[in-house]
Amino acid sequence: MKITDFAILFVIIFFPLFWLSGLHTDEQAQASSLQISYTTALRTAAQDAGQVMSTNEQQQYEAGYSSEKFFRADKELALHTFLNTLYLNFGIRGDESAQQNLLHYIPAIVVIDYDGYYIYATEDYTGSDGLPNARHIWHPKKPYAYSDAQGNSIQFTLDHYVHVVEASTGKVLDGEAEQLADQTNIALLDQINTFEQVRRTAIVSSIQKDLAYYINKHNEYASRYGISYTFTLPTISQEEWNNSINDISIISFLQGIPTGSGYYNNYALGGGRLVKKTSWLGTTDPDSGIKYAYPNGCKLPAPAQDLFTDAKEAAKSGYFLRDCRNPLIH
């Protein structure tokens, strides 16, 4: 066989493989770009919602609370702001059909208020035609409730203000835990370090449990609309949980949107008094193959392939940090 015959045979055999590999690479790049766009849209919407949550013109008329953390979270305004920003960034503002379709991929939103939380999730209802249907609604506010081994009832808040019911006497007390310690036999109130640990654990556990329930239940509704993705509560770091219960805040979830051969699955946290961090974009230098991360807004040497909440997260993922002028950040 002539050398030219071998060359032709090589092209016939391997060209389809190279072509398919190129298609797969392009698909991965497009999927990565979509992931970054969706994450940016979700985080921006959550941050906008968080900024308007602490609006409370009537706070001075609220009785019984003197805490600097006490605000009545305006959940309706937060939801309106969140969806409005999300629709705008998805390019579907004014398109009710597309907006309704996007809601199918939002299994839950939780608003963390001072003394309890609300979850916005799908629920069954009977339509005007008598047929069963589903829609997103606010579920009743749930307090941060806890009971100790002696049966004492404690309702926590985002600080040390509590509402307690003493099991042995039926006595009801409201106030700062430290101030109530001498007025009741509830030992937890007199152990401030343990109190803080139990308070945080009780709040986070309750929210996690309810979110897991509503997100899992969303699978029933999603299947009606032809969505085959399985919705589950994503893993949220302890640091982010701690941030979420330091003040009133909102946590939103966006899941199941197809991106290439995979699916988008993420969440975002927004709070009225959270410090807004600069996000970082990760990319690979086309000449050296080295992975670098830049503050969002910088001109990148190649398309972005990862989005990080801060520089620390980017560095942990193996990226070298650079600023917009390109020198390495030490």
| Residue spans per domain, the chain | 3-276, 277-330
Per-residue pLDDT tens over the stretch 116-128: 999 999 998 887 8
**Mean pLDDT across the stretch 9-24?**
46
8 Å CB contact between 282 and 254: no
Q: For 174, which DSSP code?
A: E
The answer to whether residue 13 scores a pLDDT higher than 50 is: yes
Per-residue pLDDT tens over the stretch 155-196: 999 999 999 999 999 999 999 999 999 899 899 998 988 999
Beta-carbon count within 10 A of 205 CB: 13
Mean pLDDT, the chain, rounded, equals: 83
Range from 10-14, 29-33, 180-184 carrying the lowest mean pLDDT: 10-14
Which helix (H) or strand (E) element contains residue 317?
none
Which helix (H) or strand (E) element contains residue 260?
none
8 Å CB contact between 272 and 50: yes
8 Å CB contact between 244 and 112: yes
pLDDT for residue 330: 38
How far the first Cα of the chain sits from its last, in Å, is 60
pLDDT cut 90: percent of the chain above it: 51
The answer to whether residue 61 scores a pLDDT higher than 50 is: no
At 263, list the tokens.
């699916």
8 Å CB contact between 253 and 214: no
8 Å CB contact between 108 and 71: no
If one compares 139 and 54, the residue with the highest pLDDT of the two is: 139
pLDDT for residue 64: 45
Q: Is residue 252 exposed (0-12), middle (13-18) or buried (19+ Cβ within 10 Å)?
A: buried
d(CA 184, CA 169) in angstroms, rounded, equals 9
8 Å CB contact between 152 and 173: no
Handedness of CA 278, 27, 108, 78 (dihedral sign): positive
